[in-house]
Amino acid sequence: MGQRFSLLKPSVWLLVWGALAAQSANAQSAHYPPDDEPWDGTTYRALIERVETNGLPLPTLSDASTKKVFERMVNAGNIPLHMGLNPALAVTIRFQRLDSALQPIHKLSVLYLNETQKGKAYGRELARLMIYEMKVSAALLDLSGAYLATLVTDKRYQVHVAYLDQVKGGARQLYADLVQGMAEKGRHTKSDILAMIEAALDGLAAHQPLFTDQDRRDLIQRLTQQISTTTDTELKKALTGLRDAIEHRQIRT
């Protein structure tokens, strides 16, 4: 065997090596990102690519082989939140870390939502991911004013202003989607919904200033409908607290 391989020409060896390298790369692309180290925006994008391009199943809490991957996905110790909430770091760095992660996190939320609409039991994962997205969004909004202040002398200042307007528009929609999700009792458990309400209350300080009068009316109407249809006393109380906070422009301190 060794003698036969020794007779191979260098060009053939290159072909063999190239095939092995390609096989290794394909195998790596089919794997989930590591669950034992903090994720960044690039990690979330890598997961999306492997799901959409390579057909990798979305991580779920019910599958022992992907449970830790999902838990890492929504870990508060991941780089965007860890750095974004660190006041010792420069505002620009904090903002950019959060900003680079928010879009792919939202994309993952959409992927999980699409699967639930197909009948898959991903309600727990979707709820936790939306809650995580709310935390990232709130942290980003809290920094937006200070971040914009660092750019006042930038020749592209108005471009940055326009971009932040888009971010804020997306944040308003995110909040509305979270409130809408609270009505999906067939998709989310009671504990999921209560956790979503808590996330909405926590994120209200950052999102409340963005609401238009119409946003506020829509949110109040939606929550009022949910309150009137629920028979669970604990849920009714929590939903009422959120509705009143939005209506009276209250925030947690």
Of the pLDDT bands very low, low, confident and very high (cuts 50, 70, 90), residue 251 is confident
Largest CA distance in the chain: 84
Residue tagged 């903002």 (tokens): 95
Please tell me the pTM assigned to this model.
0.87
Confidence of residue 15 (pLDDT cuts 50, 70, 90): very low
What does the angle CA 89 – CA 167 – CA 253 come to, to the nearest 5 degrees?
Answer: 60
pLDDT (tens digit, 9 = 90+) per residue, 113-146?
Answer: 999 999 999 999 999 999 999 999 999 999 999 9
What pLDDT, on a 0 to 100 scale, did the predictor assign at position 252? 78
Confidence of residue 219 (pLDDT cuts 50, 70, 90): very high
* Residues whose CB is less than 8 angstroms from the CB of residue 24 and which lie 6 or more positions away in sequence, other chains included: none
- pLDDT higher than threshold 90 for residue 228: yes
Mean of all residue pLDDT scores within the chain: 90
Residue 11 has pLDDT above 80, yes or no: no
Task: Tell me what pLDDT residue 60 has.
Answer: 96
In this prediction, residue 30 has a pLDDT band, given cuts at 50, 70 and 90, of low
Q: In the structure, what pLDDT confidence band is assigned to residue 25 with cuts at 50, 70 and 90? A: very low
Task: Give the whole-angstrom CA distance, residue 96 versus residue 140.
Answer: 9
Per-residue pLDDT reduced to its tens digit, 36-90: 999 999 999 999 999 999 999 999 999 999 999 999 999 999 999 999 999 999 9
The 3 state secondary structure assigned to the chain is CHHHHHCCCHHHHHHHHHHHHHHHHHHHHCCCCCCCCCCCHHHHHHHHHHHHHHCCCCCCCCCCCCHHHHHHHCCCCCHHHHHHCCCCCCHHHHHHHHHHHHHHHHHHHHHHHHHHHCCCCCHHHHHHHHHHHHHHHHHHHHHHHHHHHCCCCCCCHHHHHHHHHHHHHHHHHHHHHHHHHCCCCCCCCHHHHHHHHHHHHHHHHHHHHHCCHHHHHHHHHHHHHHHHHCCCHHHHHHHHHHHHHHHCCCCCC
User: pLDDT by residue (tens digit) across 163-210?
Assistant: 999 999 999 999 999 999 999 888 999 999 999 999 999 999 999 999
Q: For the chain, give every domain's residue range.
A: 40-247
* 125 in Cβ contact with 60 (< 8 Å): yes
Asked if residue 28 has pLDDT above 60, the reply is no
